[in-house]
Structure 1
Amino acid sequence: MCVSWHNQLESEIPIKHFRGKSCKVHSFGKSACFLAVTLLLLGFPFCGVCDELPMVSVPLGFEVSGYDRSRTWVSENGVFAFGFLDYSQKDDNDDDADGFVVGIRYNLGNKVSNVAVWTVGGGLRVSQNSTLRLSMDGRLALVENPSGLIVWSSDSSSLGVQKATLLDNGNLVLMGFGDNVLWESFNSPTNTLLTGQSLHFPQNLRAPSTKSISSYYNFVIRRSGELALVWESNVTYWRSHLSSSAIVKEATFDSNGVLRLIDDTNRTVWSKSSKDFQDPSVVLRHLRIDTDGNLRIYSWDSVLHTWRVGWQAVEDQCKVFGFCGLYSLCGYNSTGPTCDCLYQDSLNLGNWPSRDGFG
């Protein structure tokens, strides 16, 4: 345990601790760590060289409320965290009355970098007086208090669930005896695909909602196997254009930064790559549909500590259908795409709300 924890420290990936104890390796070597662990197992407190150890698994009966949002649990490698997110999918001007979301985020040290990668109910907002509970029947449930209304559950009762674990790849799993996976968040994606995650018909990714409206945009895999970006379920503004009549099994996103369509013989029949494809310095990537309707591959820049775009489906953002809403025109300035109101002087539409609030 001490060696793996030491490796995490050397990786410079910060960990938001939950509870428990962990050893740090100091100049007096690993023997002190062994002693500390031994004392802890025997029930003796040991201070000085120990920190809180993040809990990666929680047992049946575990619960945490929105009043204690700092109590998250993290993956063993420290990269992902799960719990109440008081900023995910919220505009800067939102207040607490707009609610909180519960889900999985990165654990990379700052608010901007710690983007959400999966949320309960696709971004379902609940009040601070809510509880996330791993019920004794094996369901992971989000409960509104004081009514006790279950607003979301994992539908995993009677499956033999024994614990919940956040894996190193960002997958939240409910496990039974022998660590058999009985339910996983990877099977119900929201707006993001992590490396190693797949998309099967009729699954889709839905762009997060803005403050004023529900999301219009979806990234879908059709029955034919074609990938598409769709507005309002009926306007397709980007598609994968399969060149063969292959029977597509799934879409996958891998650690090298490649989005692929795989046929029933496990052959790649279509793919798009990030511009940093196979760059050994990039250890974290994800694929996400953003609020502006575009699909992008993001790579983590460990030097600048920021996410950079390695590929986007629609190169010209102004060609994303409905990007500026009904009464605005799309253009570009020095900072990127911008929306200007149509006939502002003559029609007095200067304050008309566009789709993304730029109106």
Structure 2
Amino acid sequence: MPWAESLLFLLLLFSLPIPFSHSWSFDYPSPIANINSLWTNNNATIPYSATYPDGSTIRAILVRQNPTWYSPFFACGFICTAPCNDFLFAIFSVSVGDPSNPAFNTSSMPQIMWTANRSRPVKDNASLQFKDGNLILRDFDGSLVWSTNTSDSRVVGLNLAETGNMVLFDAMGKTVWESFEHPTDTLLLGQSLRQGKRLTSDSLATNWTQGQFYLTVLDNGLYAFIEADPPQLYYQRRFNITDAIVQPNMNISSDGAKNYTTYISFLKGSLSAFVSFNNTDINLFDISLPSPSSAQFMSLENDGHLRVYRWDGTSWKPQADVLHVDLDDCAYPTVCGDYGICSEGQCSCPSRNSGDEDQFFRQLDNRQPNMGCSLAIPLSCDLTQYQQLLPLPNVMYFNLGQNWTTDEYSCKEACLKACSCKAAFFKYNNVSNGSCYLMPKLFSLMNYQPEVVGYNLSAYIKVQMLPPPPRSKQLNPLVYHVGAPIIVAVICIIILIIRRIMKRKMDDDDPFKGLAGMPTRFSYKQLREATNNFSKKLGQGGFGPVYEGKLGNVKIAVKCLRDIGHGKEEFMAEVITIGSIHHINLVRLIGYCSDKFHRLLVYEHMTNGSLDKWIFRKNPRGTLSWATRYKIILDIAKGLAYLHEECRQKIAHLDIKPGNILLDDKFNAKISDFGLAKLIDRDESHVMTKIRGTRGYLAPEWLSSTITEKADIYSFGVVVLEIVSGRKNLDNNQPEASNNLINLLQEKIKVGQVLDILDNQNEEIQLHGEEIIEVIKLAVWCLQRDCSKRPAMSQVVKVLEGKIDTETSAGYDAASKDDINFDASSPLSPAPVSAR
């Protein structure tokens, strides 16, 4: 660095408020690093390592020695659990010996406080580099895993503070980036959880992958959820912002109701919530905690509890359960596993009565009732006529979610008719009606006493019955000996006649008979055998479930249309549309089944499932890199360009969304689900059709029902923004001001902060700001209210391939450039983007 900056760095170094005798030692690495430092994850280049009795290993890069030797030290570096195939870059506490033996004490396990790469561990010889103001983690093959995304020339040093906070600072000692602002599952003393940020649990106590519980601060309180679709709330502590606004001496503007930030802080002795107005804090609630003299941390754990731990001199011990202030043991979503009923801390399975327990449910592990229960007969959408609702007296759920007013009979019928419904709850408002709640995902239930809670609730769980066996009658012996041969012969003749009639009927029922180029037709029996009686469900589409199967050595996916009467139009549209076309970015239709009772579609199997599971945080295997996301965007564009411009008739898909984009084993993207597609002749400028598609992806012209292929281009623009941001266009789990992604983008365009919409949980993406801005430009071009201003998909492909850019494209210049202005000083400015 230049000599002046070096001098400032040294002056800062010696002015830091660190007890010098405890911060520098020949026995431990420094807690501060200079820029242009490089560490490689191996014992040869990181000598400060330790291996624990279970095989876990730490390799410390920075160590902050504690002023009191009997308290744990903080360190940052690489850490792994046995058998140590994967490493995290993390901040962790380590125990040390006494001053005469200052080595790491391996009798006390390290405790992780923060991780950079929880969703993507690295291998031996991965590297951490502090260069150009940026801290960058790369795997052994050089691939980018994580970064602070600072790239700030002002950054001169990296510091691990006594609080456990890892800080990048400039020459004046000012913080540029800190780990405290990017929490994982833990809060350290003095750390705050700000509005919109999350604590997310680990999945298991010995597994550091991201779990299913998360705690977040919204503008009106502290909330805890368990991941589901949609997430289910199990804890809330709300406060009234209005009461805070009218406090005196606040100096708030006329729109002061929006001019505040909310956060909670973990302090010794309390967990306090604050609302901040112009740097003035008001404490809205304060949960008292024991305040020991030793160190503390707070962790959201894999059972949904928020626990405080303290250091007892040798190890971390639980001290307090924060949410227990408002929740009892039975109110946690996984306390008794799926379907388990919690009563005074004891777990049991649902039953009609004590004698019928094994008829419907079985415990997963008889020795561990808290593991939960499973249905004795799994629910099947193909056998809904044999499903019934099992009433459970005095049983309730931790959160019932959305509801509507109806009568109890209608509530139960709605659940029986909805394949996704697992249980129905009915809360009485008066004698004739009440509130109905349908649950698509069921975690633990709990017993309750109506006289205590003050209301009555009826609970019903859906169970599967087997079809009844055919009835048999006892035959008279004489009839048996004389008439049996005749009866058998008659039955055989009848069966042969019925088979011939059914075969003719099936041939007549084939809507594609005589059409050239159609895919293979399968019998229902063939597909039932190929899917092992539809035993492995891959997912649930808009028209029915999808099952995994195998034809020979080829994996397939079989979609079963639930309602063959109402679904016939969609079935025929799908087969006719993609049965005779082939493109690398369209899911291949292998065949179909069509008879009087069944309509099924057979596709190629896509190993990595649908795109929504990867970009909306539903996939435990990790997140997508920017390079992969860019390739997916290009693949979708190529598939749509083929449909719109290269087929004999233009094909408008009309339901482009992440759930209809499937990924193969190499993350090649393919468009699927053509049930709503429309064919448009080349001489037709548009078609008239009823509204079809998915809310959040519909183009404005749907209001007139006059549609062209440009409706797909609008939907494509929405999908591009969702891929970049990692969130849905319409997301009610977001704060009200930002629950519409397109409106949020418009606001960010006005203030030149477009990159604020990026996926903030994937910091690798944030390293590609310039390229992402170009992609957002392209998305905005596709989102024009006037469909004539949107580009053709062939233009989109050329932009993404770098053959043209939006600035030089004739269509963009003529149609949109006056509306959208991009320049170097202000990346984005207002555009008339439409959102419905």
Do the aligned partners of 2:118 and 2:209 also contact (CA within 8 Å) in 1? no
Indicate yes or no: 2:192 matched with 1:195: no
Indicate yes or no: 2:206 matched with 1:217: no
Cα distance change of structure 1 residues 310 and 113 upon mapping to structure 2, 3 Å threshold: farther
Cα shift at 1:123 = 5.3
Cα shift at 1:167 = 0.8
Q: Counterpart of 1:273?
A: 288
Q: Counterpart of 2:295?
A: 284
Q: Counterpart of 2:129?
A: 133
Cα shift at 1:104 = 0.4
Indicate yes or no: 2:226 matched with 1:231: yes
What is the alpha-carbon distance in structure 2 between the residues aligned to residue 190 and residue 330 of structure 1?
A: 30
Indicate yes or no: 2:60 matched with 1:74: no
Aligned residue type for 2:273? L
Q: 2:239 aligns with which of 242, 249, 257?
A: 242
Cα shift at 1:159 = 3.9
Indicate yes or no: 2:67 matched with 1:52: no
| Structure possessing the higher radius of gyration over alpha carbons | 2
Cα distance change of structure 1 residues 255 and 350 upon mapping to structure 2, 3 Å threshold: closer
Cα distance change of structure 1 residues 128 and 262 upon mapping to structure 2, 3 Å threshold: same
Cα shift at 1:196 = 1.3
Indicate yes or no: 2:95 matched with 1:108: yes
Do the aligned partners of 2:198 and 2:216 also contact (CA within 8 Å) in 1? yes
Q: Counterpart of 1:41?
A: none
* SS of corresponding position for 1:207: strand
Larger deviation, residues 77-86 vs 315-324: 315-324
Cα distance change of structure 1 residues 213 and 76 upon mapping to structure 2, 3 Å threshold: closer
Q: Deviations over 1:255-291 (max 9, x none)?
A: 42211111233121111011x23x4xx2312221011
Unmatched tracts of structure 2, length 5 or more: 1-13, 44-57, 67-71, 97-105, 246-259, 352-356, 374-836
* SS of corresponding position for 2:297: strand
Cα shift at 1:328 = 4.1
Aligned residue type for 2:364? G
Q: 2:364 aligns with which of 347, 350, 353?
A: 350
What is the alpha-carbon distance in structure 2 between the residues aligned to residue 72 and residue 338 of structure 1?
A: 46
Cα distance change of structure 1 residues 168 and 240 upon mapping to structure 2, 3 Å threshold: same
What is the alpha-carbon distance in structure 1 between the residues aligned to residue 308 and residue 146 of structure 2?
A: 29
Q: Counterpart of 1:180?
A: 174
What is the alpha-carbon distance in structure 2 between the residues aligned to residue 212 and residue 85 of structure 1?
A: 11
Indicate yes or no: 2:286 matched with 1:298: no
Indicate yes or no: 2:270 matched with 1:258: yes
What is the alpha-carbon distance in structure 2 between the residues aligned to residue 341 and residue 306 of structure 1?
A: 35
Q: Counterpart of 1:310?
A: 320
Aligned residue type for 2:156? Q
Q: Counterpart of 1:34?
A: none
Q: Deviations over 1:209-245 (max 9, x none)?
A: 23598511001001x2300111116211111132563
Aligned residue type for 1:115? Q
What is the alpha-carbon distance in structure 1 between the residues aligned to residue 73 and residue 274 of structure 2?
A: 28
Cα shift at 1:141 = 1.1
Do the aligned partners of 2:225 and 2:231 also contact (CA within 8 Å) in 1? yes
What is the alpha-carbon distance in structure 1 between the residues aligned to residue 162 and residue 188 of structure 2?
A: 11
Do the aligned partners of 2:214 and 2:224 also contact (CA within 8 Å) in 1? yes
Q: Counterpart of 2:161?
A: 167
Aligned residue type for 1:291? N
Q: 2:84 aligns with which of 83, 96, 99?
A: 96
Q: Counterpart of 2:145?
A: 151
What is the alpha-carbon distance in structure 2 between the residues aligned to residue 143 and residue 327 of structure 1?
A: 43
Pick the structure with more helix per residue: 2
Do the aligned partners of 2:296 and 2:309 also contact (CA within 8 Å) in 1? yes
Do the aligned partners of 1:301 and 1:308 also contact (CA within 8 Å) in 2? no
Q: Counterpart of 1:62?
A: 37
Q: Deviations over 1:103-147 (max 9, x none)?
A: 10112345755311110034542222311221x22211110122x
What is the alpha-carbon distance in structure 1 between the residues aligned to residue 236 and residue 273 of structure 2?
A: 12
Do the aligned partners of 2:303 and 2:334 also contact (CA within 8 Å) in 1? no
TM-score norm. by structure 2 comes to 0.32
What is the alpha-carbon distance in structure 2 between the residues aligned to residue 124 and residue 262 of structure 1?
A: 34
* SS of corresponding position for 1:179: coil
What is the alpha-carbon distance in structure 1 between the residues aligned to residue 213 and residue 91 of structure 2?
A: 21
* SS of corresponding position for 2:117: helix
Unmatched tracts of structure 1, length 5 or more: 9-14, 16-20, 23-50, 88-93
Cα shift at 1:318 = 3.1
Aligned residue type for 1:325? G
Aligned residue type for 1:119? T
Cα shift at 1:331 = 6.9
Aligned residue type for 2:27? E
Do the aligned partners of 2:88 and 2:118 also contact (CA within 8 Å) in 1? no
What is the alpha-carbon distance in structure 2 between the residues aligned to residue 133 and residue 339 of structure 1?
A: 50
* SS of corresponding position for 2:223: strand
Cα distance change of structure 1 residues 181 and 214 upon mapping to structure 2, 3 Å threshold: closer
Aligned residue type for 1:139? N
Cα shift at 1:342 = 6.8
Cα shift at 1:187 = 1.0
Do the aligned partners of 1:71 and 1:83 also contact (CA within 8 Å) in 2? yes
What is the alpha-carbon distance in structure 2 between the residues aligned to residue 58 and residue 156 of structure 1?
A: 16
Do the aligned partners of 2:138 and 2:146 also contact (CA within 8 Å) in 1? yes
* SS of corresponding position for 1:175: strand
Cα distance change of structure 1 residues 186 and 266 upon mapping to structure 2, 3 Å threshold: same
Cα distance change of structure 1 residues 212 and 72 upon mapping to structure 2, 3 Å threshold: closer
Cα distance change of structure 1 residues 231 and 82 upon mapping to structure 2, 3 Å threshold: same
Aligned residue type for 2:158? A
TM-score norm. by structure 1 comes to 0.71
Do the aligned partners of 2:214 and 2:226 also contact (CA within 8 Å) in 1? yes
4+ residue segments displaced more than 6 Å = 337-344, 356-359
Q: Counterpart of 1:38?
A: none
Give % identity.
24
Aligned residue type for 1:350? L
What is the alpha-carbon distance in structure 1 between the residues aligned to residue 108 and residue 332 of structure 2?
A: 25
Cα shift at 1:323 = 3.8
* SS of corresponding position for 1:183: strand
* SS of corresponding position for 2:42: helix
* SS of corresponding position for 1:318: helix
Question: How many residues end up aligned between the 2 structures?
Answer: 297
Aligned residue type for 1:237? Y
Do the aligned partners of 2:309 and 2:316 also contact (CA within 8 Å) in 1? no
Aligned residue type for 1:218? Y
Cα distance change of structure 1 residues 312 and 255 upon mapping to structure 2, 3 Å threshold: closer
Do the aligned partners of 1:257 and 1:297 also contact (CA within 8 Å) in 2? no
What is the alpha-carbon distance in structure 2 between the residues aligned to residue 220 and residue 307 of structure 1?
A: 25
What is the alpha-carbon distance in structure 1 between the residues aligned to residue 116 and residue 363 of structure 2?
A: 37
Cα shift at 1:351 = 5.9
Do the aligned partners of 2:122 and 2:140 also contact (CA within 8 Å) in 1? no
* SS of corresponding position for 1:186: helix
